[in-house]
Structure 1
Amino acid sequence: MSLISAITLTEAIAGIEDVSSRIEDVFARVGHELGRGHLIFQELNQGLAALSAELSGAEIEGAATALQEIAARLSELAQALPAETALLETIGKGTAEASGLLKPLFKHIQMITIIARSARIEAASLDGDREGFLAFTQEAYDLGKAVQGAIEGCARDQQRLSEAVATAFGRQKEFEGRYRNQLAAESSELGSAYSALRDQRGNSRHLADLASASTRKIAEAVGSAIISLQAGDSTRQRLEHVAHGLRLASGPVPSLAPEPVASEDGARTICQLQAAQLRDAQREFGGDIGQIVRALTAILHDAGSVVGHGRTLFGGENGGSSSFLAHIKQTLAHASTLIATCEGAGRSVDEALAIVEDTLTKFRQAIAGLAEATVDITLIGMNAGLKASHLGSRGSAFVVIANELKATADQVSLGAGRLRPVLDGIERSATELKQLRVQGDPTQLTQLEPQILQALREVEAGNERLGRLMSRLVDEGAEFERLMNSAQGLMSTLGEGSAALPAVAARLEAAVAQEPRPQAQDEAMLDELFARYTMERERDVHRQFLQTLGLTSVAAARRVEAVEAADDGIELF
């Protein structure tokens, strides 16, 4: 061998041994990190399962149901506001109409008392049965004064009613203008919160299924990667065999037992053979590394997907403890404030309704008394007129007064009749308004609030546990990702390093200037190399190389015969 050939062989052996040692180191580290990563993911999966269980509990179901109910109530309240305002307006108009009817009625009753006084004066001038006429007129006067007092009380009550209804209408209209849209918006927000809680439970179940499926996929990927790691040992052995062959080509190695020495053509043959083995080993190894990197990529993708779903499910970023629960509490706080405002605005309506009920009761009592009084006054006038007619011309003036008293009493009766349907209309509107108030009573909404708060408190009791779980998921997920990225980086770097092997093979081939013609002792050395092989792929490359030289390996032929003899033709099922 020439000096250049010796240097080439030495450099080739050094390069091969360097790659071989790196393969052993890298595959050992990758195997360790892959095993550690698999354990981490198992813990990660357990954490996700616990998180899923926390979020699919009965507490969230209870909170969701309560949120749905309060959202529906707020929506009903928002929809009822225009009707309540319209009814208050109708009551206000009815009150104004009643006020207008009370004024002429009051004048007619005043007229009765005036007529009764005039009749008393006229009765005093009569000669016959003066005392009887005076008693009639006094009774009419007393009845008129009593009715007048009742109507004056109605007028005062009507004024109080008008003021209360006007105040309630103004506040209700202002409240509707300011808060109706807010009520609808809060109802929508709470409805969305309800949907979010329901979705949360569905997502948690989905996450459990996803984690289970991902665990299986990752287990398969880990198994595939571990199997692929065996390629590192196979490649390392092949490189050791190549280095051994190159040492044989470089000359005898000092030892106690003398070894055969290759001829110059034999050395060139061995160099070409090892170049072929080197190229094939690198090609196979490159495919194995690609398979391992793809497996690691799949593991990273699946693990990252599970952790990402965990973050989404919890509602926090970067392991933060804030969650969708905080948003629900904020929405509920807004709704609570709005409910309190509803209660404040509703008090004036309830007060007005109470005054309406009280006033209507007094009005109806007054009208009933008025009806009885007008009947009595009419009878008094008729009786007085009949008696006065018996007096002839002396009682004619009293007859006129009695007829006027009866006519005025009839006007009072007509006025009372016109007032009744107005009061009936006010009562109907008040009844409808009261029903609306009962259906949309804010106090009912207030009673729901503790139920929701209790449910949220129960959920929040687990919030700290969820926060710890989330931190664990993020930390372990980051550690898992670091390990897998490290393994990927090691394999990629090793792949780049092994890419130098074809260049070593090219230098070996270039060192052989002409086609070698191995001698008999060289064939024995080739058989010895064949016998050292541990992989069938090495043997195939060896046979193919010898065929290009027109040679046949005795050791290779013996191995084929041994394999054929071992095949007894029995098929195993």
Structure 2
Amino acid sequence: MAGADLTDIAAGAIASIEDLGGQIENAFAQVGGHLGRTHSIFGDLNSGLESLSQELSGSKIEGASVAFQEIAARLRSLVEMLPQEAALLGTIGTGAAQASKLLTLLIKHTGMVSVIARSSRIEAASLEGDRADFVSFTREASDLATSVQNSIVACAKDQEKLSAAIAKVQGEQLQFDRNYRHQLQSVSDELMLSSSDITGRQVRSGQLAESAKASTSRIGSAVGGAIVSLQAGDSTRQRLEHICLGLRMITASAGSIVPAQVVLDPTAAQRLATLQAAQLKDAISGFTVDIASISQTLTRLAASSTSIVGQGHSLYGGEGADANSFFEVMKQRLARATVLISASAQAKQSVDDSLAVLETMLGKFRAAIAELDETVIDITLIGMNAGLKAGHLGGKARAFVVIANELKLSADQISETAKRLDPVLDQIGQAADQLKNMRSDDGATRVADLESQIMLAMREIELGNGRLVQMMDHLTRESAEFESLMLSARTMMATLGDKLANLPGIATDLERRDATIKTLAPDQALAIGGLFDELYLQYTMDAERDVHLKCSGRLGLPHTAVAPAAVSDESEDALFF
């Protein structure tokens, strides 16, 4: 009856163990598939994220940042130029007003020469004899005075135009200063902020690339560890098969399906049951550790999945939704800068036009002064000749002596006024040259090349951001699917754990009668040892052999079987999957 009881226990154990072995095979196959899918998902996603991050942190984006800085610098230079321009235009305006006064004096003095010439002509008409010489002198003086006066009058008219042009430019410059100085500074600051924003995106892209690399390594290591842990499932399944092989020896005794030379009595059956109980306990102990390790690995994988999604959203969180507004702000800032620079270019053109007029005027003025110098010399000589001639004629030509002195006085006044005008013109010319040199580098108002560069880079950023948003959405979806897979895997591991919880009771039932068995006779020990040796030759793992040898020694059984060249657990694990 006791043998029948043990046979029933062994049969029940076989059924339970085989059921668990099938579940282990099925569960581990599914979990392995989940892990393979996981590795593929995150390998592709992280590779894409890393590639995209490198693209987003590339030279084009850096070029856009630098271009924004350059335009901002140009706007600041325009701001800095405004007070300098105002000062130089003021200098030119003041000089023009002084020139106007001096030109008025020149017109007055040259007019006086004409008046003296007319008086001389009247006096010459009253002379007898040498009248022709004095008439010739007075005509020559009158002609020179008229010519110079016409030249000076023309200069005065040009100067009026210049003064009007300078006044207009000063007004426009003042208006531009009032309207645009603050805007130029403000937009310059905005462009520097844009440069900083772009640089910030560049930095965050680099961070995302590093995060992707770290996550790839972490998840790859975790998946590799999980796969190694899953190989323990195959090892456990094989051990359970070997245990069932031993238990079938017990159940086969009821049907006499045993080797002919062996009589499987209750003692032998109990010894076999004791061995299988020991193997089952050791397998349970190892597999319990394996299941715990696998569950921990799956938990780490789920955490890694959540982490990479969280990192991605923390680095670019909200920027997907705000991206359009970000790019619109960039474009608006650039558009405002372009408008301001265009307005500056128009104001510059107005100044340039005035400078061109001024340059022409200064040329005329200097030519007129040069002509004036020659005329002064001629008038002075005419007066001297007239005076000498009058001296030879005596008292009747005394009036011409006075006229000659008046001509000399007028000539001196013209010369003095011309000398005063010359430094004024120099001052105006120097201010104009400084203003011209300041305006000659028109890089500050030429941004078409930079604008094109920025727009191209902004387009690259916009497209890259779109791909990034799509990839992050894809990552979020895949992560949710992965979490579902990991939940399913953990559930299967928990179910296996529940099934495994029944096996210790079976092991206890198998070895329950071990303490009541008496010491074996030599022939019994030899016979049962042969059965143990047959089982020993079926083992494929060192752990099985160790348990077997310890149990054989404890039961007093001889051991003669030599194990084939063993394949270690680690080597076998490496060949699994």
Whether contact under 8 Å (2:120, 2:403) holds in the other structure is: yes
Whether contact under 8 Å (2:47, 2:212) holds in the other structure is: no
Aligned equivalents of 2:409 and 2:27: distance in 1? 122
Match of 1:296 among 279, 294, 301: 301
Aligned equivalents of 1:51 and 1:380: distance in 2? 92
Q: Does residue 119 of structure 2 align to residue 118 of structure 1?
A: yes
Q: Does residue 573 of structure 2 align to residue 551 of structure 1?
A: no
Letter in 2 for 1:516: A
Match of 1:339 in 2: 341
Whether contact under 8 Å (2:106, 2:414) holds in the other structure is: yes
Aligned equivalents of 2:363 and 2:115: distance in 1? 29
- Structure-2 change in CA distance of 1:431 and 1:474 (3 Å): same
Whether contact under 8 Å (1:161, 1:359) holds in the other structure is: yes
Whether contact under 8 Å (1:71, 1:190) holds in the other structure is: yes
- Structure-2 change in CA distance of 1:200 and 1:552 (3 Å): farther
Q: Give the root-mean-square deviation of aligned CA atoms.
A: 5.3
Whether contact under 8 Å (1:225, 1:295) holds in the other structure is: no
Whether contact under 8 Å (1:378, 1:405) holds in the other structure is: yes
Match of 1:280 in 2: 285
Whether contact under 8 Å (2:148, 2:371) holds in the other structure is: yes
Match of 1:378 among 362, 375, 380: 380
Aligned equivalents of 2:272 and 2:167: distance in 1? 118
Q: CA deviation at 1:92?
A: 2.2
Letter in 2 for 1:393: G
Whether contact under 8 Å (1:75, 1:187) holds in the other structure is: yes
Letter in 2 for 1:438: S
Match of 1:423 in 2: 425
- Structure-2 change in CA distance of 1:458 and 1:349 (3 Å): same
Aligned equivalents of 2:483 and 2:248: distance in 1? 38
Aligned equivalents of 1:440 and 1:28: distance in 2? 73
Match of 1:473 among 471, 481, 487: 471
Aligned equivalents of 2:452 and 2:471: distance in 1? 32
Match of 1:437 in 2: 439
* Deviation readout 1:170-202 (Å, 9 max, x if unpaired): 433554565457556766776787898899999
Whether contact under 8 Å (1:26, 1:490) holds in the other structure is: no
Match of 2:411 among 387, 406, 409: 409
Whether contact under 8 Å (2:309, 2:472) holds in the other structure is: no
Match of 1:537 among 504, 521, 543: 543
Q: CA deviation at 1:82?
A: 4.1
Whether contact under 8 Å (2:373, 2:415) holds in the other structure is: yes
TM-score, with normalisation over the residues of structure 2?
0.73
Aligned equivalents of 1:253 and 1:105: distance in 2? 146
Aligned equivalents of 2:402 and 2:168: distance in 1? 48
Letter in 2 for 1:436: M
Whether contact under 8 Å (1:269, 1:516) holds in the other structure is: no
Aligned equivalents of 1:441 and 1:164: distance in 2? 25
Whether contact under 8 Å (2:279, 2:548) holds in the other structure is: no
- Structure-2 change in CA distance of 1:462 and 1:187 (3 Å): closer
Aligned equivalents of 2:477 and 2:379: distance in 1? 103
Q: CA deviation at 1:497?
A: 4.0
Aligned equivalents of 1:143 and 1:417: distance in 2? 19
Letter in 2 for 1:536: D
Q: CA deviation at 1:164?
A: 2.0
SS in 1 for 2:516: coil
Q: CA deviation at 1:360?
A: 0.5
Q: CA deviation at 1:29?
A: 2.0
Aligned equivalents of 1:78 and 1:253: distance in 2? 106
Match of 2:94 in 1: 93
Aligned equivalents of 1:287 and 1:540: distance in 2? 23
Structure 2, unmatched stretches of 5+, are 259-263, 568-577
* Deviation readout 1:474-500 (Å, 9 max, x if unpaired): 455345434543443234334444554
Q: CA deviation at 1:505?
A: 6.1
Letter in 2 for 1:339: I
Q: CA deviation at 1:158?
A: 1.8
Whether contact under 8 Å (2:53, 2:206) holds in the other structure is: yes
Q: CA deviation at 1:126?
A: 4.0
Match of 1:488 in 2: 486
TM-score, with normalisation over the residues of structure 1?
0.73
Match of 1:569 in 2: none
Q: Does residue 35 of structure 2 align to residue 31 of structure 1?
A: no
Whether contact under 8 Å (2:65, 2:195) holds in the other structure is: yes
Q: CA deviation at 1:62?
A: 7.9
Q: CA deviation at 1:317?
A: 4.4
- Which shifted more, 229-238 or 357-366? 229-238
Aligned equivalents of 2:7 and 2:92: distance in 1? 117
Whether contact under 8 Å (1:140, 1:377) holds in the other structure is: yes
Match of 1:232 in 2: 233
SS in 2 for 1:351: helix
Q: CA deviation at 1:458?
A: 8.8
Q: CA deviation at 1:285?
A: 1.7
Whether contact under 8 Å (1:278, 1:501) holds in the other structure is: no
Q: CA deviation at 1:411?
A: 0.7
Equivalences for residues 11-50 of structure 1 within 5 A:
22-41=23-42, 43-44=44-45, 47=48
- Which shifted more, 63-72 or 367-376? 63-72
Whether contact under 8 Å (1:52, 1:208) holds in the other structure is: yes
Whether contact under 8 Å (1:263, 1:518) holds in the other structure is: no
* Deviation readout 1:489-518 (Å, 9 max, x if unpaired): 234334444554685467668889998334
Aligned equivalents of 1:231 and 1:291: distance in 2? 15
Aligned equivalents of 2:433 and 2:201: distance in 1? 44
- Structure-2 change in CA distance of 1:73 and 1:347 (3 Å): same
